[in-house]
Amino acid sequence: MKKMTNDFGNIIADNQNSLSAGAKGPLLMQDYLLLEKLAHQNRERIPERTVHAKGSAAYGELKITADLSKFTKAKVFAKGEVTPLFLRFSTVAGEAGAADGERDVRGFAIKFYTREGNWDLVGNNTPTFFIRDAYKFPDFIHTQKRDPRTHLRNANAAWDFWTLCPEALHQVTILMSDRGIPASYRHMHGFGSHTYSFINDKNERFWVKFHFKTMQGIKNLTNAEAEALIAKDRESHQRDLYEAIDKGDFPKWKVQLQILAENDTDKLGFNPFDLTKIWPHSIVPLIDVGEMVLNKNPENYFNEVEQAAFSPSNIVPGIGFSPDKMLQARIFSYPDAQRYRIGTNYHLLPVNRARSEVNTYNVAGAMNFDTYKNGAAYYEPNSFSDSPKEDKSYLEPDLNLEGGAQRYAPLDNDFYTQPRALFNIMNESQKNQLFANIAASMQGVEKAIIDKALAHFEKIAPEYKKGVENALKA
């Protein structure tokens, strides 16, 4: 058997699990192979995005109607606060010329221009994802892209990966359900997906998940409806969004949160930072906090939509990260992708630029057109009173960790409970659509891989397996 190595011939002992500070802790910077995989992936294609290449966007605002001061000191969540924003929707797997109506996860990335700097919330139209460890992310995306030999999409690769990574079953069930092809960007929910943290003015931490529920109602397409639509209009979602806003039919979303006290995570019974799992609403109920509206179209698609750059590393006081392994890796990967794709000073482009005061010692670099405003100092620390200084009052509370440094060992291998719960709330029509959609997606897939998938479906529910088997024979 050939031993797997990195680009320099160093043998790789573990290509499945990130190096973690304990089972619940954050990732370690010394995991150079993880960084190398993510950095390499960001440079695989130029100039379009490696993922989320096909996008549509609009400007709008967020209005907060609830008092959240108990949970966060972030001004963007102060009652009555109205914050301008830019929201980019996207498909994930397809290239920039892909059709809008394909069966795919949809990106849901929001840039909030807050009074305390830009806050980027980078999520999807699903509350979960296919994997929970970023070590697997470049490989997963390879299965969604074109086979380098044939330059064709490869269903065999996708299902081979999913059956070998059963943590994907929850997201696969969502993707293959009747909600797998939204009728438009206006008619789908959005989620921050990851777990983030809130910090209040007492320096107390809470864990939080962000939900955006469409007020237009959910509308989806069947495979047949999507095929007919794509044959007539490959830009259906872009057209729908632009024309709705252009005629004053502004799309809206109800903003809801799930909030959990820092030490209450045991209530869930599983790792709260596992991106393949949801927080049950029966345990952590949704809280209504406000409304989001889109009310202005971009004027120049390339300047505003194509050059828009989002990263979960952009946070503001009162909002922080969590030990979510996928989130931790995206904190590095996203800005690294933008530096490569757009350039070192991508933050100076109008769509990306903060609307609050910016005081930085980052200087020079290609396409830097900023004015230097730091007086005599071009470094920090310095002795000049008119130069910006750090402010330790903004430090977050310590995050207590446990365990030794190790390759990420998930706290559980329960891949079936949450997909089963989702399957059990589907009606007969939804189940039949799920079976048919899976069968359609398995065209050309090897029998051995199909058999592995069926074995997983049976563990979710015998009816799940039987339904897919019958659909495959139809």
Q: Catalytic site residues? A: 52, 124
Distance CA 208, CA 253 (A): 18
The CA angle 177-253-258, to the nearest 5 degrees, is 75
CA distances from 450 to 157, 175, 375, 454 (A): 12, 17, 66, 6
Distance CA 105, CA 305 (A): 19
> Which among 313, 310, 319 is positioned nearest to 196, based on CA atoms?
319
Token output for 217? 């109602």
Q: By CB neighbour count within 10 A (0-12 exposed, 13-18 middle, 19+ buried), where does 17 fall?
A: middle
The size of the chain, in residues, is: 474
Backbone φ and ψ for 125, nearest 5 degrees, come out as -90, 15
> Which among 437, 466, 442 is positioned nearest to 173, based on CA atoms?
437
> Which among 123, 143, 223 is positioned nearest to 175, based on CA atoms?
223
Distance CA 374, CA 366 (A): 20
Question: DSSP string spanning 395-462?
Answer: PPPP----S-EEE---S----SHHHHHHHHT--HHHHHHHHHHHHHHTTT--HHHHHHHHHHHHHH-H
From the CA atom positions of the chain, what is the Rg in Å? Answer: 23
> Which among 133, 124, 139, 127 is positioned nearest to 40, based on CA atoms?
139
